[in-house]
Each structure stands twice: as C-alpha cells, then as structure tokens.
Amino acid sequence: MGLESSSDRESILTILKVLGDLLSVGTDRRIHYMISKGGSEALLQTLVDTARTAPPDYDVLLPLFRLLAKVGLRDKKFGQKALELEALDVTLILARKNLCHSQNLLHCLWALRVFASSVTTGAMLGINGAMELIFDIVTPYTRKRTRTIRVATEVLAALLKSKSNSRRAVNRGYVASLLRLHQDWHSHDTASTYVPIRRGFLLCLKHIVTLRSGREAFLAAQGMEILFTTAQDCLDDKSVEPIISEALQILRLCYPKSPLPLVTASSAYAFPVPGSITSEPPCVLTEEDFEDDGDEDVDRGSSSEDVKEEDDDLETDVDKLSSKPGLDRPEEELMQYEAMCRELSCSFEELESQFGDNVNFGEIQCANHHIPTAASSKQHCLSKDQSCRGQENEETAQTSLLHKVKIGRSTVHLASRKRPVMNPYQNVQSNGLGRDSSGNEIPNDQASLKEDAEDLDAIFCSRLRAFFSNSTRPRETATVIDKLLKTHPKRMPFHDPYLYVAKAGSTRSVVDFKTMAFPDIWGHCPPPSAQSLLERKRGVQRIKILEDVRRLIQPSDVINKVIFSLDEPGALQDMASNCLRFFSQFESGNLRKAIQVREFEYDLLINADVNSAQHQQWFYFEVSGMRSAVPYHFNVINCEKPNSQFNYGMQPTLYSVKEALLGRPTWIRTGHDVCYYRNHYRQSTAATGGAPGKCYYNLTFAVTFPHNEDVCYLAYHYPYTYTALMTHLDILEKSVNPKQVYFRQEALCQTLGGNPCPLVTVTAMPECNSTDHLEQFRHRPYQVITARVHPGESNASWVMKGALEFLVSSDPVARLLRENFIFKIIPMLNPDGVINGNHRCSLRGEDLNRQWLSPQAHLQPTIYHAKGLLYYLGSIGRSPVVFCDFHGHSQKKNVFLYGCSIKETLWQAECTVGTSTLLEDVSYRTLPKILDKIAPAFTMSSCSFLVEKSRASTARVVVWREMGVSRSYTMESSYCGCNQGPYQGLQFGTGELEEMGAMFCLGLLILELRSASCSHQLLTRAATLLNAEEEGLDHHLQR
Ligand SMILES: [Zn+2]
C-alpha cells in the first residue's frame, strides 16, 4: 500500500486504478484482506488529504469515492474510521460545493451512505448538517437527476436510524416534508418508474415513527390518511409492492394504541378458591420487541412457522436431569390409591359380580364394531336390534386397525384427496341424494324444519332467553330435545342425547350454566372426508389492516354497538334489529362481548380464564339471526398467542342446527379470508403498573352461513365438553361385554369446582378363575394415559376418545392390549377448566401442567392424586411401561411426542462434561419411531427429547425424573392438520384425531412386541394375527 507515502498525483491515480481493477474482479476475500492491512484508513486519509488541497482534484476524488463505497460496505468499522480520520466533514463540504454538479455529488453521497451505516457516525453526520444537505438535494417529482435523488433518500434513511437524527427530523418538520414528497412522487410517477425513490421516502418515515414524537408528528400531518390512500390506490399493483409493504408497516406502527373495550381484563367469571391466586404475571413486551415484525411476515414462506425452542432453556444441571426417586408426601398416604387398583386384589368372583350379568349390555350400542378410523365414511352405528355381543362377532371384526397403518393407507387417502371437501354442507346438499352420511333418508321437510327452528329459537336463542325463568329451563330443553329426537331420529355411535341432558344436570359450573349447547346434546358425526388446508389468499392480511385503518380515519359507517356482553347483564340486543345474536353461557362457552362494527362485521372478545386476566385463545359461542349467503366478518380481537396456525391453513369450526336436523350433525371447518395478526390493542399501563402493556392479536375470518335464521355455533376447535366425556364413559361402560372387558370408572378426586375427575381402568377379564389366569391378570404391566390438562386443547379429548373406544373394541389388537396390560386413564385432568370455557388454567388461574413438582391436595387435587396414583404404582413395583399426557399444539402441524433424554439435552446444550460416563437407555425413542411408521398423522421429525428448565414441573418431566419412567411423554396433536404423510395438505377432522388415539394404542402393542421382556405367548399370538393380516406390518415387528 503505497497511497500514504505517495504525494505524486500520477502514482496515486495509478494505484487507485490498479486497486479498482483488482477489487472489481476480486472476491470479498480480496477486499477483506485489504481492509485487514489498513486499506480503509489509507483510502480515507488520501480522501482527506486530496479534499484539503485547493482546488480539490476530482480526477483523484471520484475513483477514490468509488473505492471507498466498495470497501466501506465490507468494513464493519468503516464509519468509526471515517469519523476518526475526519473524513466526514470533508465529504460534507465537497457535497455542498457540488450541489449543482450531479456526478461529483453522486460520488459524495455514495461515501456518505456507507459512513451513515454506522449509527454513531450517522449521528455525527446529523449534527454536522447532513440532513439539511439531503433536503437540498431531494425535490418534488422530477425526471432529472433521479439517480442522485435515489441515493440521497438512501443516505437519509440510513441517517434516520439514529434516534437523535430522527428527533431532529421531527423538530425540523421533516415528517410533513417527507409526506408531501411521498404524495407528489406517488401522484406523478404513474408508470412506477421510480419505486426505489418512493420507497426511500417511506423508509425515512418508518425510522422516524419508531419515536413517539415521530408518530405524533405523523398523525398530526395526516399521515394515516395519506398512506392509507396510497396503499388503497395501488394494492393490486405488484410493481409497487415494496411501497405498499412499507406504507402498511408505518400505518401499523402509527395506529394509536388503545386498551381493549372491556371494563377489566380480568375474567368475567370469578370463583372463590382456596389459597391465593397465583396467576403468573402477564408477560410484558415492549414496543421494541415488535419493531422487526414485518407486515405479511407469514407470506414470506413457512419457515417462520416453527417456533424454535430457546437453547438457554435447556436443563444442563446433571443432578436435575438425573432420576430422583422420592416422595413429595408421607408414604402412608399412598394407601388410599389401593382402592383405585382393585384389579390387583379382588377375587374372580368379585370381578364377576362387580359387573354382573344384569348390566344392560348392548342397550345403547355395541362398541365391538367401532374402530375409529379417519377415512371410514360409514358410521358404525347400530340400532338396538343390530347390536351384538363381541364374542359372536369376532369373525366379522376384520376391519382391524392393522389395515389402517400408514403404509397401507395411501389408496384410501388418495381417494379422499382427489376431492377435498371444502364445504361438506354444500357437498351434501348439492348431491341431491337426500341421504345423510349413514345412508339414511333425510327428513327434508322444510315445513317441519321451520317449526323445529322455532322451537330451537325458543330454547337456544338468546333473543327469547329472557322470557324463560331459570328454574324451568332444563325441563324446557329436555322437552324440546325430546320432540326433536322423535321427529329427527339420528343415532350416533357412542352418543346419547338423553343421557347427555341427564349428565349435564350434575356438571357444576362457576356461574351455574342453565343452558346446553345444541351440538353437545345432539352430537357430532365426522364429515365423510377430511377438509383441505385453506389456501391463503394473497394480501388478505393487508386488506384487513387497511380495513382497521379505515375504521379510524373514516368512521362514518362504523356502528360500534355492543350487542352481547357478559359484563352487562340484561337485554342488550334490539330484537327488531337485523344484527346477529350471540350467546355463550353454556359449558365450554366463553364469548365475553360482541360489538357490531358494520352491518356484517363483528368484533368479538373472549373471556379470560376464570380468576385470571389472560389466556384468551379458545372460543366457543352460539350465533343466530343470520341471513344465508351473506359473508359475515368476525374479528376476535383479544387473542394472545403471537402466531397461529390460522395463518397456515387452519379454519375455525362451525355447527349448524338446521344442518343437524337435516341429518348432517357435523362440526365442519369453515371460514374464508382467515388471518391472524397483531392489532393496536394494548393492555392498559394501569394494569401493568406503568410498564408497557402486552399486545393483542386479531383472529379474523368470514363465514357464510348455510341457512337463514339458523342457530349456529362457532369454535376454535371441535368442542368436547366434560359432560360429553361423562356421557361417553357411561356409554362405553355399558357397551362392553363384561365377561371379556374389565372396564371400571371411578372418581380420582373432586375438583375445586366440585366435579368428579374420572379415572378409567381397562384390561381384559381373566378367562377363568384358575390361579394361572388370575396371576397373569394381576401381573399385567400398567400403561398410564392422561389428557386435557389444558382445557382449550379439545383435540386431546378427541384423541383420547379414539383411544378409549379402540381399547374396549373387539379389534384383535385391542384384545391383545387388554390381555397384556392394565390401562389407567385419566381422560380429563382439568374438568373445571373445560366446563368454564378456560383455555389454559384451573379455577385458580394456574396452569396445572406446571404444578407436578409439588401439587397440593387442596389446591391442585387432580394433579396431586394423579401423581399419587403413579407413586402408588411405583411403590408396589408397578410403574407404567409408558406414561403419556395428550395435548394440543397451536403452532405446529402433525402429531408428535415430547420425551426426556439426559444425553440429548446435554448434547443440544453443548454441555458434554461427563456425558461419556452417563448411561442412558435409548428406549425412549422406540415408541415415537413406531408411531412414525404406523400412524398417518404422526411424524418423528417434530419429536423432541430435550428437558427444558421451563418444563421442570410438567407431567412428562416429573413422571420421568421422580417416578423413573423412561418412556414418559407429552403427545402433541396439531389444532390444524398435516404437512407430511398421507394426510398432507389436510386439516384434522375428529376422525383423524380419534384414529390417532387408536394408533397410539397399537404403538404400545408393537413397543411391547419389540421389547426383550415380551412373553413368548404374546409374540406367538401377535405373529398369528399378523399373518392373518396383510404383510404390511411385518417389518415393523421385526425385533
Ligand atoms: Zn397443552
């Protein structure tokens, strides 16, 4: 590098030329080499020296600026170096001197652009008048000097990244100037020739409005109106895409933040509970947390879909990862659980008499036919005279689950994929067959439907609700249901409306619900085939955001009328008006408020979990009084999760009462223009003690209802109430052949809300009372499955329903399972949460799946006793082979397991000290590998076996660590659907979820067959079974 010592002009020019040539063909490596050898400093020094000679020699300066621009881009410390060598001032002076000399000016701007890329240097340039200089260069629309103007806007945008420059820009009134420039260029540049210049102005504004004073200046200068108009003008013009994108980001940043339209964020429901409410403080996010959150981020590809686990959450303390058997309570206490394991002690006679012959077996349905499979279009629903005992039906049980394993399914699946049902209702209606999914004739009598609808209106619609006194309601409901059932006979497997109504009588809710939702009473049949993921319409989010802005700046057509509110009891609804009617005071219902915004648009607010001020995500409500063929827009405005599968193909679910009466009692996925994005509502700073309030998200979707004046129900996911579970368990119990299936349900404990938490035991009855058989019966290993600790995860209940129905079925796999295991199942760990429409918590406002480390009997009874039961099994040497807790996942697709591994956790945390001596049985991987092969919805690739600190008090980690159960899992089922395997591109229906439950059980059997301890007898029987089946499964079973 001879620049510094060269005083001779010719040699400097030569060196610059050589350098320019070298670097123009060279790669980054050459430039970095040059930088490392002090190249930047040498160039900058030459600049300063040359600029200070009078007159400046532009033959040297221009190639020098070109080199500086090139090198500066690669040198992270370039701005700092320029500052130290006083290159800023000379460049600014040169630029000012050359305002009329485009070529020279442009070269100076290139240098300024790289100087300004460092915020400190940018701030210094600002102090020295760089912004004023730029405002002398940028002009209203012109076709001259556009290259210079473009670079000038880029310099300005870089300068405005510095907060002090932004502040100065606000004080000098540049916000209004930039808006005027933006408008001028926007109106003249009709051919979109100068998009980069126009985007440059917006980038400048975007940096300024990150300051509060910038936003105020923007609003005062009518920025919302101006950018709204711009964006509206060119929404469909792809060539100005970068401009719309910036404009929308600015609009979102500047939309005035406001508190939710609620009297309080706390739940409308409170319940006196023991102990102090320990609801965790709401997570506080600051404005800065969102700065990088661009508009339409979801359109940038699906990679952002997966939420990455934080590595620093991994547990690296080997001590905390090691098995630590021990009790959290006195040992004597465990004896109470002996009574819950009567199978271990009672005699054969007691077993016999316990179930007796007097049970009305087969009265309701015969379970032995039903294997939940997603693609079965036919419901195995048997009327009374068709019902039959399992043992008479063994030969017909050929529809073994083994037929449905992943590899054997492709043909079935392809058939359903060819014609994905977008709207099952329409599909049935348009086929004109007048038959429902079971092939029964539909009583398609419109007159009777109308009459029924009036009855329904009386019972289910809020409009007339006020006319009924509470005491007579249940009877009224029962009467109407009775009448409807007589005129619309509809048998559904494992469901009974009469029993449901009876069971609901003993379900205890916090505010004493008097009403039942129709779908829960009437029941649900899965649609004949799965529905496709909704294809996201381009630009749907920006249209919604512009609509939100329009509400603010053109409020003339905004109605803003509260038409339903849990906080304002009494009739809010104007009966004469045309608006929709809402209701949610029924089990699992949780709509808190509905506000009519425009004629066909409603803002909805979900109730927070009881005794909490947060966790709004799940929703379930009734809506009526609609017109058909009109799209109604719904905005759920107080959602909490930062992202949702609603952005990736998921739709909410809808149930139409009229459709049900026409023979199609089905929850379907519905809604178009679905999207989920952060809105302008913030928790009030008063509620957070002055800290910036957390933000909320909009779920927005449009629904076109199938009938006029219908009663419909909308939900986050297929509802599954506590009463539905209790009804289901009774039906299951009555459906089994007590000589073959040992099925017992009892109460694990009472919940805080006074509801029994059911515990189910399923195994096979001993064949006879010989000692051998009784011994085998009593020594069967345990399997423990739990679900629905999180009430909003109704998908977990559907998976559980499938598992339960499968386990009591006559499927040969189910028989083998019963004969070899005792299943202890707690199908709903949080009944109170489910009943009261919570999303996450118990009545104490706490997440029960964070209470497993030290649950207390009087505060978290279901967790305390679930843990107690597991302790008891451990104390008698009978810890379960597998423990699994079923959950639902809102951010990912497919079904997958979370397990626990010390080694994987330490490896992942790159904490390998001492791991070589750690011994770990890798059998925790076997079950997920098996499920990956057999279950269509399951994928190994989403499974994780890491132990996170934040999960230390979950069922999975505690059962693994304290009970020493190496196969302790959480099974997560997507709320949405699948992006792999046979169900790729489909949303889950209840059928797919139920099938997953059955597949999970099959997985347990295969796991046993592959274990070293598997009995010879079981292996032989499984082999026979498999030989009788297709070869499909063989390779899964090879040991
Ligand atoms: Zn969960």
| C-alpha to C-alpha distance for 807 and 797, rounded to whole angstroms | 15
Residue 3's pLDDT is what?
A: 61
Cα(784) to ligand 1 centroid in Å equals 17
Q: Which residues on neighbouring strands pair with residue 986, listed in sequence order?
A: 532
Q: Does residue 992 carry a pLDDT above 90?
A: yes
**Nearest Cα to 886, choosing from 983, 980, 762, 996?**
996
Pick the closest to residue 69 from 120, 144, 19 (CA basis). Answer: 19
Cα–Cα distance, 161 to 497 (Å, whole number) = 64
Task: Name residues whose C-beta falls within 8 Å of residue 437's C-beta, 6 or more positions apart in sequence.
Answer: 377, 378, 379, 428, 525, 527, 528, 663, 664, 666
CA angle 554, 559, 560 (to 5 degrees): 100
pLDDT reported for residue 691: 64
CA 837 to centroid of ligand 1, rounded, Å: 15
Mapped to the 3 state alphabet, what secondary structure does 17-57 carry? HHHHHHHHHCCHHHHHHHHHCCHHHHHHHHHHHHHHCCCCC
- In the reported structure, the alpha carbon of residue 973 is separated from the centroid of ligand 1 by a whole-number distance in angstroms of 9
Question: Residue 392 has what pLDDT?
Answer: 36
Q: Please say whether the beta carbons of 375 and 413 come within 8 A.
A: yes
Neighbours of 518 (CB within 10 A): 27
Residue appearing with tokens 């109407």: 480
CA 897 to centroid of ligand 1, rounded, Å: 12
Identity at 8, one-letter amino acid code:
D
Is 56 a residue whose pLDDT tops 60? yes
Confidence of residue 650 (pLDDT cuts 50, 70, 90): very high
Ligand 1 centre to CA of 114 (Å) is 49
Choose, from 948, 972, 994, 1008, the residue flagged as catalytic.
972
Helix 990-1009 crosses helix 926-934 at what angle (to 10 degrees)?
130
Tokens standing for residue 243: 């401009």
> Which pLDDT score, from 0 to 100, does residue 174 have?
96
Q: What is the pLDDT of residues 849-886, one digit of tens each?
A: 999 999 999 999 999 999 999 999 999 999 999 999 99
Q: Ligand 1: distance of its center to the CA of 787 in Å?
A: 9
pLDDT of 435 over the 50 cut: no
Distance (Å) from CA 950 to ligand 1 centroid:
14
Whether 755 contacts 510, CB under 8 Å: no
Contact 802, 993 (CB under 8 A): yes
Residues 106 and 13: their CA atoms lie apart, in Å, by 20
For 349, the token pair is 């006679």
Q: Supply 769's token pair.
A: 């009372």
- pLDDT of the residue at 520: 95
Q: In whole angstroms, give the CA distance from residue 194 to residue 182.
A: 11
Interval 462-489 mean pLDDT: 59
Could you tell me the distance, in angstroms and rounded to a whole number, from the CA of residue 981 to the centre of ligand 1?
A: 24
Q: Compute, in angstroms, the gap from residue 316 CA to the centroid of ligand 1.
A: 24
Please state the separation of Cα 580 from the chain's center in Å.
Answer: 28
Q: Which residue has the higher pLDDT, 196 or 450?
A: 196
pLDDT in tens, 528-577: 888 999 998 888 999 999 999 999 999 998 999 999 999 987 656 566 57
- For residues 941 and 303, give the distance between their C-alpha atoms in angstroms, rounded to a whole number: 15
Would you say 520 and 513 are in contact if contact means Cβ atoms under 8 Å apart?
no
Cis peptide before 274 (omega within 30 of 0): no
Quickly state the pLDDT bin for 447 (edges 50, 70, 90): low
> What average pLDDT does the segment 748-756 reach?
97
Average pLDDT along the chain = 84
The pLDDT tens digits for 21-47 are 877 776 778 888 888 989 899 999 999
Task: Give me the sign of the Cα torsion angle 838, 792, 622, 557.
Answer: positive
Least confident of 469-478, 689-698, 797-806: 469-478
* Residues, beta carbon < 5 Å, ion ligand 1: 790, 793, 887
Distance 669 CA to ligand 1 centre (A): 22
> What are the pLDDT digits (tens) for 287-309?
433 333 333 333 333 334 444 44
Give the confidence band of 136 by pLDDT, cuts at 50, 70, 90.
Answer: very high
Ligand 1 centroid to Cα of residue 753, in Å, is 21
| Per-residue buried b or exposed e for 263-277, using 16+ beta carbons within 10 Å of the residue's own CB | eebbbbbebebeeee
Q: For residue 543, how far is its CA from the centre of ligand 1 (angstroms)?
A: 33
Residue pLDDT, tens place only, 372-416: 445 443 333 333 333 333 333 333 344 577 777 765 443 334 334
Q: What one-character-per-residue DSSP string does 726-794 give?
A: HHHHHHHHHHS-TTTEEEEEEEEEE-TTS-EEEEEEEEEPPSSS-HHHHHHHHTPPEEEEEE-SSTT-H
Q: Are 931 and 999 in contact (CB under 8 A)?
A: yes
Mean pLDDT of 589-606: 96
Whether the CA torsion 997, 998, 999, 1002 is positive or negative: it is positive
Cα(791) to centroid of ligand 1, in Å? 8
Quick one: which of 854, 806, 853, 852 has its CA closest to 829? 852
Which residues 6+ apart lie within 8 Å of 641 measured at CB?
617, 697, 890, 891
Question: How far is Cα 176 from Cα 396, in angstroms, rounded to an integer?
Answer: 80
Say how many Å lie between the CA of residue 264 and the centre of ligand 1: 26
CA of 789 to the centre of ligand 1 (A): 7
Digit-coded pLDDT (tens) for 231-248: 998 888 888 999 999 999
- Residue keyed to tokens 């608006």: 579
* DSSP class of 982: G
1030 compared with 769, residue with greater pLDDT: 769
pLDDT of residue 737 exceeding 70, the answer is yes
Can you give the length of the chain in residues? 1039
State the distance from the centre of ligand 1 to the C-alpha of 617, rounded, in angstroms.
Answer: 12
Distance 788 CA to ligand 1 centre (A): 7
Condensed to tens digits (0 to 9), the pLDDT of residues 254-282 reads: 999 999 999 888 999 999 988 776 545 54
Q: Quick check: 1009 and 962 in contact, CB under 8 A?
A: no
Q: Which amino acid is at 80?
A: Q
The alpha carbon of 891 and the centre of ligand 1 are apart by a number of angstroms equal to 12
- The pLDDT of residue 451 is 62
Whole-number Å distance, alpha carbon 847 to ligand 1 midpoint, is 9
The dihedral through the CA atoms of 515, 520, 523, 528 has a sign that is: positive
Q: Classify the phi-psi angles of 768: left when phi > 0, otherwise alpha if psi is within -120 to 50, otherwise beta.
A: beta
Contacts with 1033 (C-beta within 8 Å, 6 or more apart), sequence order: 402, 405, 934, 1026
Q: What is the pLDDT of residue 345?
A: 85
Side chain identity at 14, as an amino acid letter?
A: T
Rounded CA-CA distance 686/521 in Å is 43
Per-residue DSSP letter, 617:
-
Indicate whether 284 pLDDT > 70: no
CA distance 454 to 919: 69
| Segment holding 799, helix H or strand E | helix 794-807
User: Which long-range contacts link 33-39 to residues 24+ away (Cβ below 8 Å)?
Assistant: 34/71, 35/71, 35/74, 35/75, 37/1, 38/1, 39/1, 39/71
> How many A from CA of 829 to the centre of ligand 1?
11
Report how far apart, in Å, the C-alpha atoms of 113 and of each of 43, 59, 155, 378 are.
Answer: 16, 21, 5, 69
What would you measure as the largest C-alpha separation in the chain, in angstroms? 115
Question: Rounded to 5 degrees, what are φ and ψ at 280?
Answer: -65, 150
Q: How far does the centroid of ligand 1 lie from the alpha carbon of residue 856, in Å?
A: 21
Is residue 972 part of the annotated active site? The answer reads yes
450-454, 666-670, 820-824, 929-933: least confidently modelled range: 450-454
Sign of CA dihedral 504, 608, 845, 612: negative
Q: What is the pLDDT of residue 449?
A: 62
Query: What DSSP string describes 189-256?
Result: -TT---HHHHHHHHHHHHHHTTSHHHHHHHHHTTHHHHHHHHHHHTTT-GGGHHHHHHHHHHHHHHSP
- Under 8 Å CB-to-CB from 533, ≥6 apart: which residues? 648, 649, 650, 976, 977, 985, 986, 987
Q: Which of 271-285, 424-438, 719-733 has the lowest mean pLDDT?
A: 424-438
Query: Is residue 364 scored above 60 in pLDDT?
Result: no
Q: Hey, which residues does 582 pair with through a beta bridge? A: 623
What's the CA-to-centroid distance between 566 and ligand 1, angstroms? Answer: 27
- Is the pLDDT at 674 greater than 60? The verdict is yes
Measured CA to CA, the distance from residue 318 to residue 914 in angstroms comes to 9
Q: What pLDDT does 267 receive?
A: 92
Cβ atoms of residues 667 and 635 within 8 Å: no
The DSSP letter of residue 555 is: G
How does pLDDT run across 111-132, given as a tens digit for each residue?
Answer: 999 999 889 999 999 999 999 9
pLDDT above 50: residue 757 = yes
